[in-house]
């Protein structure tokens, strides 16, 4: 298989990647045929998958706007994927040129492409690390360059936590990140769930099988388990809701019913803003 010039050496081009499949759903170009093939299978099983990916990005952009409006201009985006148009650093810098972003991903293509996109930026960095190893993120030289943990930070976990299995205790890991964040910091979460307004399509299980087969099963948690991620945070209005209902730019009724799958929310860490 021919290796594209932008692909880092050492990547196994025969194994699909969640972040590159996500890039494919969003219409990006940094994915391989193996990712597209897996993505097409997932879409066959659940045709709404690309719309859900787009709804996640739209929610993320609105949450970034909310954060800047609250005076939070530092962003820690974990499971950030491959930067496409409207990524966190673009949205944040458009609202406040002093905004700083640390992207974190464990996919070598996502990291390599992020570095290429950000090579001229002094306000954003990328670190190759895994959500499940907070110390690798928090003590990285990249974090030291762009994030001041003495001031509020927006921790973005968008479309990430449903790829972390219960055996890895993602609630404990979110708590480890929370504990180093200053009061006034924000937690931004979107999470797949069968407990949602949209009924899971009959063939949705086929899409789940695709992710299972590549070693990244999707854990559709009930609302109560998604809410637990916000322990130590006060969830802001409108609460834990379907993505189109979180401070929408357009009437939610205009959205495709499939994007009401799952929950999204923003919480603020207890204490006064720094």
**Environment class of 174 (CB within 10 Å of its CB; exposed 0-12, middle 13-18, buried 19+):** buried
Q: What pLDDT is recorded for position 203? A: 54
pLDDT digits (tens, 9 = 90+) for 152-168: 999 999 999 999 999 99
Structure token digits, residue 140: 């990285």
Query: Angle at the Cα of 156 (from 151 to 158), degrees rounded to 5?
Result: 175
Q: Is the pLDDT of residue 273 over 50?
A: no
Q: What pLDDT is recorded for position 13? A: 79
pLDDT top residue among 117 and 79: 79
Q: Can you spell out the DSSP letters for 238-256?
A: T-SB-GGGSS-SS-GGGS-
pLDDT digits (tens, 9 = 90+) for 42-97: 999 989 999 999 999 999 999 999 999 999 999 999 999 988 778 999 999 999 99
pLDDT digits (tens, 9 = 90+) for 163-182: 999 999 999 999 999 999 99
Domain 18-269: CATH superfamily, name plus number: Vaccinia Virus protein VP39 (3.40.50.150)
Q: Is the pLDDT of residue 201 over 90?
A: no
The closest of 187, 10, 221 to 109, measured between CA atoms, is 10
pTM above 0.85, yes or no: yes
Return the domain boundaries, the chain. 18-269
């Amino acid at each position: 298989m021919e290796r594209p010039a932008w692909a880092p050496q050492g990547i196994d081009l025969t194994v699909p990647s969640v972040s590159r499949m996500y890039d494919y759903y969003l219409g990006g170009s940094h994915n391989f045929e193996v990712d597209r093939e897996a993505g097409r299978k997932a879409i066959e099983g659940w045709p709404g998958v690309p719309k859900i990916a787009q709804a996640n990005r739209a929610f993320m952009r609105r949450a970034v706007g909310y954060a800047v409006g609250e005076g939070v201009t530092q962003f820690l985006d974990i499971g950030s994927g491959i930067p496409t148009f409207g990524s966190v650093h673009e949205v944040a810098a458009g609202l406040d040129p002093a905004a700083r972003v640390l992207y974190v991903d464990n996919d070598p293509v996502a990291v390599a492409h992020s570095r290429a996109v950000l090579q001229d930026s002094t306000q954003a960095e990328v670190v190759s690390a895994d959500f499940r190893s907070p110390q690798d993120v928090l003590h990285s030289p990249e974090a030291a360059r762009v994030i001041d943990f003495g001031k509020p930070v927006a921790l973005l976990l968008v479309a990430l936590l449903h790829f972390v299995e219960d055996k890895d205790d993602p609630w404990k890991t979110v708590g480890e990140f929370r504990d180093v964040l200053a009061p006034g910091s924000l937690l931004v979460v979107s999470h797949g769930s069968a407990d949602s307004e949209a009924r899971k399509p009959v063939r949705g299980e086929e899409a789940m099988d695709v992710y299972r087969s590549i070693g990244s099963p999707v854990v559709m948690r009930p609302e109560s388990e998604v809410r637990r991620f916000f322990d130590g945070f006060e969830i802001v209005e409108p609460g834990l809701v379907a993505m189109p209902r979180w401070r929408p730019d357009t009437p939610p009724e205009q959205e495709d019913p499939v994007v009401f799958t799952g929950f999204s929310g923003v919480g603020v860490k207890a204490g006064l803003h720094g």
